[in-house]
A and B are shown apart, each in its own frame.
Chain A
């Protein structure tokens, strides 16, 4: 019973994701304002990045501080590939592959170890990439690079919706697979998982590579959207903060959490731009702090718990089994 209801939830989630993504994709042709389209674009951008982080850090508990930098590598790779004359699809593929490759610097050195080594490796990666990119002449050094081809505005919009929807579906599906079970075992008790025959190091490495590839693809699409890349902007720590704030606010480790988180984040960002333009970082940090300390499973779970709690209060009215 529980098995089939879980499958139904997953299928419902995939259908809902596809429906919402198609609706958003159709909006520009239904006469929606450019402002709303930009908001939706950024929502999808943050969602895609958040899901990439969620796939690794949300599912395993290994915190990455480098997903913004990984996205930056994707952005640089796609612009370099496009300027070299490669077709769009191949450039995007190259960007994802290049990012996955770069992520091996972190993965191969630190994922054999348990605990905080991975987090440190990502922390330094964030700084290292900026320092190196500023030193490399063929990527423009401190001055950055510009995409030579001019693309229609709807193209990055549709691509970003696709990446965000795809990443969300992957999160919905992965929990139902054998790999998902292995990840769950790893998160609960890595030593026990190892003893049960799960190759934890390989699993973490593959998961992080896929997560990096998604971050790279996200960054690549945003590189097409932004078209001029400056290293100090592309590799600023802000994007890495967004990548972890979005899932944590909504609920890390779930497929729906980042969706809610991304929506909330876009709203917070827009409101702050009007009322307190300079306080963006501080407020995001405060929200994060409150969520971690008091709503530790994120807004979605906290809300669901509050609703369930209210329903459960009068026992005489409770009908049927308690929803789990």
Chain B
């Protein structure tokens, strides 16, 4: 029983982080029909930004989270305006290749700047908390809480705020939304900015519980893609459910087998879902 609770606790931490990364992917795909293969590199950006901040100024890494979010939001806005906006209305292949090329550029730049070293820091929350036999690190608990807060805020924005309603309208029918007076360009800029901000904040959290390498975001984003397909392309609720589910699968599979097998299981699960229910858990069936 305690073991089950422990595995669930571990799974929730991974699931929460996956949720944060996948949320941005689902948002952009839902609103703009853009698959952002460079999303993982923004996670890496947030991780390195936090690492550099903590390693050089010795401040709490918690300070890095809002900073990474802001940095990501600005970077996202620039990338959207300078590059992604140019591909609007072009064939899908062009859009895919544009974000893929961006990811290659960023991956190469990170590898060149930081090499293959594994980096981490000792600052920030430490120690563990034991509740009825379940042990959870303060760092992991911080991650979970921040994920909850950011995820909750995003859902609230999407449900209640004017811009959130505009984004949902765009996701439903772009032309109709535009003819109702919704500023498409501004809304897309906001969506991309928010999405990348979330990715960078997730990166900041990743640096808190793991090591920072140029490939760290790439590894997380692959699982996040599994989550997005599993949840139904573009469905934010679906992505959140799938993220928690995959976090739990990952937690159990890494306990029973090992970390590589956990990934193999996740990918095989994805092929199985494509075969049986291609529209994902909550996606709408269409061609």
Query: Chain A residues in contact with chain B, CB under 8 A?
Result: 57, 61, 63, 65, 105, 108-110, 112-117, 119-121, 123-124, 127-128, 131-132, 134-135, 191, 241, 244, 248, 252, 278-286, 288-289, 292-293, 296
User: What A residues does B287 contact at CB under 8 A?
Assistant: 113-115, 191
User: What B residues does A116 contact at CB under 8 A?
Assistant: 35, 92, 96, 233
B91 at the interface (CB under 8 A from A): yes
C-alpha spacing A179/B229, complex, angstroms: 32
C-alpha spacing A110/B276, complex, angstroms: 11
C-alpha spacing A134/B264, complex, angstroms: 11
User: What A residues does B92 contact at CB under 8 A?
Assistant: 61, 115-116
Tell whether, in the assembled complex, residue A288 and residue B96 are in contact, meaning their CB atoms are under 8 Å apart.
no
Tell whether, in the assembled complex, residue B98 and residue A292 are in contact, meaning their CB atoms are under 8 Å apart.
yes
Tell me, rounded to whole Å, the shortest Cβ–Cβ distance linking A7 to chain B. 29
Given contacts A115-B92, A191-B287, A285-B105, contact A127 B263 (CB under 8 A): yes
Given contacts A114-B287, A289-B101, A293-B98, contact A123 B222 (CB under 8 A): yes
Query: Chain B residues in contact with chain A, CB under 8 A?
Result: 35, 83, 86-87, 90-94, 96-98, 100-109, 111-112, 222, 225-226, 229, 233, 260-261, 263-264, 267-268, 270-271, 274-275, 278, 287
Name 8 interchain pairs, CB-CB below 8 A, sorted by A: A109-B275, A115-B92, A121-B274, A124-B267, A131-B264, A281-B104, A286-B105, A292-B94
Interface residue from A65, A109, A115, A280 paired with B100 (Cβ < 8 Å): A65
C-alpha spacing A292/B102, complex, angstroms: 11
Tell me, rounded to whole Å, the shortest Cβ–Cβ distance linking A250 to chain B. 14
Closest 10 interchain pairs by CB? A281-B108, A285-B104, A282-B108, A285-B105, A288-B101, A289-B101, A109-B274, A128-B267, A124-B267, A278-B112
Tell me, rounded to whole Å, the shortest Cβ–Cβ distance linking B45 to chain A. 15
Tell me, rounded to whole Å, the shortest Cβ–Cβ distance linking B193 to chain A. 20
User: What B residues does A65 contact at CB under 8 A?
Assistant: 100
Tell me, rounded to whole Å, the shortest Cβ–Cβ distance linking A295 to chain B. 12
Tell whether, in the assembled complex, residue B222 and residue A289 are in contact, meaning their CB atoms are under 8 Å apart.
no
- Identify the closest chain A residue to B97 (Cβ): A292
User: What A residues does B87 contact at CB under 8 A?
Assistant: 293
Tell whether, in the assembled complex, residue A282 and residue B267 are in contact, meaning their CB atoms are under 8 Å apart.
no
Tell me, rounded to whole Å, the shortest Cβ–Cβ distance linking B204 to chain A. 24
Tell me, rounded to whole Å, the shortest Cβ–Cβ distance linking A64 to chain B. 11
C-alpha spacing A48/B275, complex, angstroms: 31
User: What B residues does A296 contact at CB under 8 A?
Assistant: 90, 94
Counting chain B CB atoms within 10 Å of each CB, which of A119, A121, A123 scores highest? A123
Counting chain A CB atoms within 10 Å of each CB, which of B101, B107, B271 scores highest? B101
Tell whether, in the assembled complex, residue B96 and residue A63 are in contact, meaning their CB atoms are under 8 Å apart.
yes
Given contacts A116-B96, A281-B104, A285-B104, contact A123 B225 (CB under 8 A): yes
C-alpha spacing A115/B234, complex, angstroms: 13
C-alpha spacing A108/B271, complex, angstroms: 9
- Identify the closest chain A residue to B276 (Cβ): A109
User: What A residues does B226 contact at CB under 8 A?
Assistant: 124
C-alpha spacing A281/B41, complex, angstroms: 14
C-alpha spacing A244/B87, complex, angstroms: 19
Interface residue from B93, B104, B229 paired with A288 (Cβ < 8 Å): B104
User: What A residues does B104 contact at CB under 8 A?
Assistant: 241, 281-282, 284-285, 288
User: What B residues does A244 contact at CB under 8 A?
Assistant: 97
Tell whether, in the assembled complex, residue A135 and residue B260 are in contact, meaning their CB atoms are under 8 Å apart.
yes
Tell me, rounded to whole Å, the shortest Cβ–Cβ distance linking A108 to chain B. 7
Tell whether, in the assembled complex, residue A280 and residue B108 are in contact, meaning their CB atoms are under 8 Å apart.
yes
Tell me, rounded to whole Å, the shortest Cβ–Cβ distance linking A113 to chain B. 5
- Identify the closest chain B residue to A108 (Cβ): B275
Tell me, rounded to whole Å, the shortest Cβ–Cβ distance linking A232 to chain B. 12
User: What B residues does A278 contact at CB under 8 A?
Assistant: 111-112
User: What A residues does B261 contact at CB under 8 A?
Assistant: 135
C-alpha spacing A280/B108, complex, angstroms: 7
Tell whether, in the assembled complex, residue A132 and residue B264 are in contact, meaning their CB atoms are under 8 Å apart.
yes
- Other contacts beyond A288-B101, A293-B83: 15, CB < 8 A: A61-B92, A65-B100, A116-B96, A120-B229, A121-B274, A124-B222, A124-B226, A128-B264, A131-B267, A282-B104, A285-B102, A285-B105, A289-B105, A292-B94, A292-B98
User: What A residues does B91 contact at CB under 8 A?
Assistant: 61
C-alpha spacing A123/B98, complex, angstroms: 16
User: What B residues does A117 contact at CB under 8 A?
Assistant: 229, 274, 278
User: What A residues does B105 contact at CB under 8 A?
Assistant: 281-282, 285-286, 289
C-alpha spacing A292/B98, complex, angstroms: 7
Tell whether, in the assembled complex, residue A127 and residue B222 are in contact, meaning their CB atoms are under 8 Å apart.
yes
Tell me, rounded to whole Å, the shortest Cβ–Cβ distance linking B216 to chain A. 15
Tell me, rounded to whole Å, the shortest Cβ–Cβ distance linking B146 to chain A. 27
C-alpha spacing A108/B207, complex, angstroms: 38
